[in-house]
Amino acid sequence: MGLATIERAGFAVYARDPPPMGLRARRQAAFVGIAIVVLTIGVFRPTSVVRAAGPTLPIRAAFYYPWFPEAWDQKHINPFTYYTPAPAGYYDSSLASVIDDHIARMQYANISAGIASWWGQGTKTDTRIPLLLNEAHTRNFYWTLYYEPSLDALNTASDLAYINLHYGSDPNFLHVNGKPVLFVYTRAVKSCADVTTWVTINAGLFYLSPQVFGGYLSCPTQPDTWHQYAPTSAEDKQHLLSFSISPGFWLRTDAAPRLIRDPARWHFNVQHMVASGAAWQLITTFNEWGEGTAVEDATEWQSCTGYGVYLDELHKTAGGRANLCGSSPAPMPSRSPAAQSTGAPSPPSRTPGPLAPAIPRGAHTPPAASDLTTVLAWLAFRPWRLLPR
């Protein structure tokens, strides 16, 4: 069996060939597996969840990356960025104080939701989602996920069941029209056929927002909405569906920026986003430091407020408020007097196997039928493993 490695932005994707099966057997197994998992998604639908009043459209959200400190060290470069985050420096996404500070800064910038990069069950980005949700409890901030793995019918069905079970009913998981929201990166949706697969597997559970591709509006099957992720463009408008803005793009391995930072241009970008009337107003990104697209504060663009010029502009133009300069550091987010809500359960632990740094699935012995979650995981055997290097 061959082992292939594919890299994107410092993440290693390990693909192991599945055991040989006849074509008919593979089709039968896939049909049975998809049917079971899709039915299970329906079983895990929350029926009587009491949630706080979340944001309504139009929603302003920022793409967010909970993959540090792993992502500071990539391609034998440490730190893997041209910039220095402020005030915490090269931080750890596992620290509650860091997440608290990030939520405070996004709220200051009139951002009501974070779109957290998610690379699969049991990955570092997955195990930090409970922390993100817990730190948003009792405050008016919400999270959703950016689904990054490649599309595979069985694996994707298993992932949707997993996300819904572990996070979908959390009061601070973003909902629209009564459904948990899920953004989907281009790796998992590249054609109209992929959209049909997503909509079929989803069965109406999630409010889906795939990334656009050529001819997306002509697809016979349509998701709930669409978005663009194009950080090398200062602005991108997808009709009234979404409007995204980027402060700049300078990948650490590039000799020069592909999009030069310009605070004066950023002022007009924010104005255009607010005036667009788009249902989704997206900031690309809050903290993708390796690609140099962060609006989070850095020593290179600090300001008198302690938030940095890019968040200041969002605070002022997107919220119609004047900057308040002072020497005091950025305040921590204030908690409401409401009782702390129960956090989402932690993802199941995975036992590392001999294939480092990936966490292989392990032996493929059928589990006990009483353990429904494990049964689903075994049925949806994942040949792809995605983990930060």
201 close to 157: Cβ distance less than 8 angstroms: yes
Q: Name the pTM for this structure.
A: 0.76
Enumerate domains of the chain plus CATH numbers: 54-336 (3.20.20.80)
**Whole-angstrom distance, CA of residue 167 vs CA of residue 164:** 6
Alpha helices in 44-95 (DSSP H): none
Q: What percent of the chain has pLDDT over 90?
A: 67
pLDDT at 263: 97
Residue in 42, 181, 127 with CA at minimum distance from that of residue 343: 127
Average pLDDT, the chain: 80
pLDDT at 325: 74
Name the phi and psi angles at 36, rounded to 5: -65, -45
pLDDT at 138: 80
Which tens digits make up the pLDDT trace of 191-201? Answer: 999 999 999 99
For 288, counting Cβ atoms within 10 Å of its Cβ (0-12 exposed, 13-18 middle, 19+ buried), the class is buried
pLDDT at 16: 32
- First-residue to last-residue Cα distance in the chain: 23
For 284, counting Cβ atoms within 10 Å of its Cβ (0-12 exposed, 13-18 middle, 19+ buried), the class is buried
**Whole-angstrom distance, CA of residue 119 vs CA of residue 66:** 11
**pLDDT of 14 higher than 60:** no
For 240-269, what is the mean pLDDT?
98
For 120-142, what is the mean pLDDT?
96
| Residue 330 neighbours by CB distance under 10 Å | 17
37 close to 154: Cβ distance less than 8 angstroms: yes
297 close to 306: Cβ distance less than 8 angstroms: yes
**Whole-angstrom distance, CA of residue 260 vs CA of residue 68:** 25
- More confident call, 269 vs 21: 269
**pLDDT of 328 higher than 60:** no
pLDDT at 326: 52
For 7-28, what is the mean pLDDT?
40
Which tens digits make up the pLDDT trace of 39-49? Answer: 444 544 444 44
pLDDT at 66: 98
Which tens digits make up the pLDDT trace of 65-91? Answer: 999 999 999 999 999 999 999 999 999
For 284-290, what is the mean pLDDT?
98
**pLDDT of 10 higher than 80:** no
